[in-house]
Amino acid sequence: MQKIVYTEAEIKKVAIHTVGNKLKGDSYLLSDQEIILGGQEMEEYFLKTTLKPIKNDKFFTFNNSKNNKVYDLIQPMMDGKDFIKNSKEISKHLFDVFNEPKAEGGHLVFVQYRNVIVDDELKDAIGIFKLKKAEKRLIINPNSTRYEVGFSNSYDLSKIDKGVMIYDYDSENGYLISVLDKPSKNEIIQYWSESFLDIVLRQDTIYYTNNALDVVQDFVLEGMPADTKTIDKINLLNDSIKYCKENVEFDYDDFAKEVFKDNYDDFLKYKKDFELENNLESKDSFYVDEATVKKRAKKFKTIIKLDDNFNIVVKEGSNSMIDQGTDETGRKYYKLFYKVEE
């Protein structure tokens, strides 16, 4: 997993344009000049508010980079060329592809950064951020005899709802990209990621690790025989996480033999069907991404809920310490074995 650090980041250039939703009859307004931030305090504000919402736990890349408008326009900008010209063209592109009738237009803020650390190397990056509509705020100004009040339209950079960070890394393969794409309650189409940027998940260790754990989780919860006990399902999920933690490389054949044993053939068949149905790229083996495993382990079901009385948390490695059965009266029970009570 690529490690992104912003502690040394600085701002090189900023441009702001306005792009409306053409489906609502809006237009666009493009600037011919870069923005002068006017001091260290404003630069720090831009750094903090634009970088904070970007989450680097999932990476993307430009789809079909040989025929991708944003990719073509970003390349010269990364080299320090045509920043204003190409930011205007990218803004026009967003206007042209607006296909979500309920989405709001707004300001597009373009920021070029220097000294972003990507895998211990200093890189440039370009961010594109869409701001929501201006908010009307009350302004209070004192003078010599009384207070005067009025309204001002202002924008809050901390309320970015769409954004993308494009890092100058692996450019020949479509760059390394992080995206912020929060759909509003009215939006149906993900116009930002799909129509505008045309990006896809980057096929790296994160991608393949996530896919494998998706297959495992779906098979355990949906593909196992109907009479499979809950405790057995939880143990299989825990064993899967254990395998990922103990092996640098994930090999599907080896994994299926070790974890699923009697269901070896069923799992591998389920994997093929699952990947086909979900249009996933497949590899027989790949390097495991530790951070992804740690994150996904927290989401796997490990709690057995018994009526309204008890919750049993089954931790990794406790397979032999819990048993399930039914007594002579027909009541179901779990039997727990332990050494120390804390």
The answer to whether residues 125 and 167 touch, using CB atoms and an 8 Å cutoff, is: yes
Among the ranges given (34-48, 171-185, 259-273, 313-327), the one the predictor scored with the smallest mean pLDDT: 313-327
| Predicted confidence (pLDDT) per residue in 279-305, tens digit | 888 889 999 998 889 888 877 766 667
Among the ranges given (111-115, 245-249, 309-313), the one the predictor scored with the smallest mean pLDDT: 309-313
Residue 244 confidence (pLDDT)? 94
CA 301 from centroid of its chain's CA atoms: 22
Q: What is the mean pLDDT of residues 323-333?
A: 83
Strand partners, 166: 126, 177
Distance CA 65, CA 75 (A): 11
Confidence of residue 134 (pLDDT cuts 50, 70, 90): low
Residue 243 confidence (pLDDT)? 94
Distance CA 258, CA 250 (A): 12
The percent of residues above 90 in pLDDT, for the chain, comes to: 44
The answer on pLDDT for 118 being more than 90 is: yes
* Burial (Cβ within 10 Å: 0-12, 13-18, ≥19) of residue 94: buried
Q: What is the mean pLDDT of residues 35-45?
A: 88
pTM score = 0.72
Confidence of residue 31 (pLDDT cuts 50, 70, 90): very high
Greatest mean pLDDT among 160-164, 224-228, 249-253, 304-308 lies in 249-253
In the chain, the largest separation of any two C-alpha atoms, in whole Å, equals 90
HSE, side-chain direction, 13 A CA sphere, residue 201: 14
The answer on pLDDT for 68 being more than 80 is: yes
Tell me the CA distances in angstroms from 326 to 102, 146, 260, one per residue in order. Answer: 56, 81, 25
Higher pLDDT, 153 or 31: 31
Confidence of residue 322 (pLDDT cuts 50, 70, 90): confident
Comparing CA positions, the residue from 252, 255, 297 lying closest to residue 275 is 252
The answer on pLDDT for 70 being more than 90 is: yes
Confidence of residue 317 (pLDDT cuts 50, 70, 90): low
Distance CA 69, CA 287 (A): 33
| Predicted confidence (pLDDT) per residue in 191-246, tens digit | 899 899 999 988 888 889 999 999 999 999 899 898 888 888 888 888 999 999 99
Confidence of residue 178 (pLDDT cuts 50, 70, 90): very high
Q: What's the whole-number average pLDDT of the chain?
A: 86
The answer on pLDDT for 29 being more than 60 is: yes
